[in-house]
């Protein structure tokens, strides 16, 4: 009984320290660089939307409910799910709503800088163009009330308000939000070019980059290359999903293209790892997503450890926090619990991500200041 009691006490202590660490990871100011809008929608909102469409007879609610509430998801299942999500979020008002909620959810996690990526969509039946879709997203950013959304670069010297409510500050939290436009791998060259041109047109409205994403077993690099080259010529920063599947030819081509950042980098071989490491291209690491979709065999064997030990530039990201039931705080907690990083190391990891944001120098300066202040309170 004594041994059992001791075990109980040890377990209680462990539970207490887990709780403390989780709370610390929430309090840590964080930078999110890889979050897909539709993958970040709350389950409760998806269920509500599914119920409404179910009542109208557009979908079978019970089928949808099971899919949304299901846990493990293969990569292919994810992309089937996105088609379903898109059915639920097609109209302008819903796009505005989910954008607002996604920003609020990230701000609740003390994310202080957020790049949301989304695929501008044409949908004739809803009178939606890529442009009107993006206007609906931006409307969502402008109607956030719970936190102050900073969509434009501001003069950091004129702005001394703490951003994350650290130290019991009761003023509204602030969050920088920027948008990346995604090219979906199913799109044609012309559609991909439209997205790049739209990003250029909307660069004064918070749009700062281009992403290439979508089902990695669909499409050819040559199809998107003209659009990506065009973005490069226009000086628009680019991030590319790389190596979600072992497509050797494409991994080479992506590494040769040298985008500003890379997402995932799961299935690289020895030479590709060498090339990546010598390139020093920052990598957006998505632990939970990679383990759930099979891009990494387990948390313990995730390539985070190798890249971290090699001091490769990294930032932890959620990918699809709704779809994978995670949060950025949870991703930091997983790094602590799986790889044994200390609080000081986690803080450094979070702070380093400031250097990889696509926003301009004013924002970086402001974020560096914020981390300096936070360090005194958290470490």
| Interface ranges with ligand 6MZ (CB under 6 A) | 36-39, 78, 82, 118-119, 182, 184, 213-214, 241, 244, 289, 293, 319-320
Q: Which is nearer to ligand 6MZ, 187 or 366 (CB)?
A: 187
Q: Which is nearer to ligand 6MZ, 29 or 263 (CB)?
A: 263
Q: Which is nearer to ligand 6MZ, 206 or 214 (CB)?
A: 214
Q: Cα separations (Å) of 69 from 66, 144, 225? A: 5, 27, 37
Which has the closest alpha carbon to 330: 43, 14, 21, 11? 21
* Residues 281, 238 contacting (CB under 8 angstroms): no
* Cα separation, 315 vs 333, whole angstroms: 14
Q: How far apart are CB 265 and ligand 6MZ at their closest, in Å?
A: 12
Q: Which is nearer to ligand 6MZ, 276 or 323 (CB)?
A: 323
Q: Which is nearer to ligand 6MZ, 70 or 372 (CB)?
A: 70
Residue with token string 């759930």: 292
Which has the closest alpha carbon to 37: 194, 211, 170, 171? 211
Q: How far apart are CB 85 and ligand 6MZ at their closest, in Å?
A: 7
Judge whether 220 counts as a catalytic residue.
no
Contacts of 195 (CB under 8 A, 6+ apart): 119, 120, 130, 181, 182, 183, 187, 210, 227
Q: Which of 32, 115, 187, 244 is an active site residue? A: 244
Q: How far apart are CB 101 and ligand 6MZ at their closest, in Å?
A: 13
* Cα separation, 11 vs 47, whole angstroms: 36
Phi/psi at 148 (nearest 5 deg)?
A: -90, 120
Q: How far apart are CB 372 and ligand 6MZ at their closest, in Å?
A: 33
Q: How far apart are CB 86 and ligand 6MZ at their closest, in Å?
A: 6
User: Which are the catalytic amino acids?
Assistant: 244
């Amino acid at each position: 009984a004594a041994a059992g009691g001791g075990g109980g006490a040890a377990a209680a202590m462990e539970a207490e320290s887990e709780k403390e660490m989780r709370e610390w990871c929430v309090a840590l100011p964080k930078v999110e660089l890889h979050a897909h809008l539709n993958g970040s929608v709350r389950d409760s909102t998806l269920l509500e939307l599914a119920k409404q469409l179910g009542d109208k007879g557009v979908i079978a609610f019970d089928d949808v409910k099971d899919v949304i509430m299901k846990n493990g998801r293969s990569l292919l299942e994810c992309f089937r799910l996105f088609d379903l999500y898109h059915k639920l979020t097609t109209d302008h008002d819903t796009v505005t709503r989910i954008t607002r909620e996604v920003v609020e959810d990230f701000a609740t996690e003390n994310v202080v800088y957020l790049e949301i990526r989304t695929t501008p969509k044409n949908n004739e039946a809803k009178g939606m163009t890529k442009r009107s879709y993006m206007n609906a997203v931006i409307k969502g950013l402008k109607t956030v009330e719970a936190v102050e959304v900073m969509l434009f670069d501001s003069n950091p010297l004129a702005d001394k308000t703490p951003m994350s409510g650290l130290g019991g500050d009761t003023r509204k939290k602030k969050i920088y939000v920027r948008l990346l436009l995604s090219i979906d791998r199913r799109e044609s060259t012309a559609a991909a070019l439209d997205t790049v041109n739209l990003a250029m047109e909307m660069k004064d409205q918070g749009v700062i980059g281009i992403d290439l994403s979508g089902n990695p077993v669909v499409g050819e690099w040559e199809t998107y290359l003209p659009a990506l080259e065009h973005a490069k010529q226009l000086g628009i920063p680019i991030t590319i999903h790389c190596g979600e599947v072992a497509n050797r030819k494409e991994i080479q081509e992506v590494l040769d293209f040298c985008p500003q950042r890379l997402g995932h980098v799961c299935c690289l071989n020895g030479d590709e790892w060498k090339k990546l490491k010598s390139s020093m291209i920052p990598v957006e690491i998505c632990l939970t997503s990679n383990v759930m979709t099979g891009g990494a065999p387990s948390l313990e064997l995730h390539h985070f450890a190798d890249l971290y030990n090699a001091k490769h530039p990294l930032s932890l990201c959620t990918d699809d926090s709704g779809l994978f039931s995670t949060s950025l705080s949870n991703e930091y907690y997983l790094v602590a619990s799986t790889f044994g990083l200390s609080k000081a190391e986690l803080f450094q990891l979070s702070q380093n991500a400031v250097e990889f944001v696509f926003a301009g120098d004013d924002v970086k300066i402001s974020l560096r200041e914020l981390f300096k202040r936070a360090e005194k309170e958290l470490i």
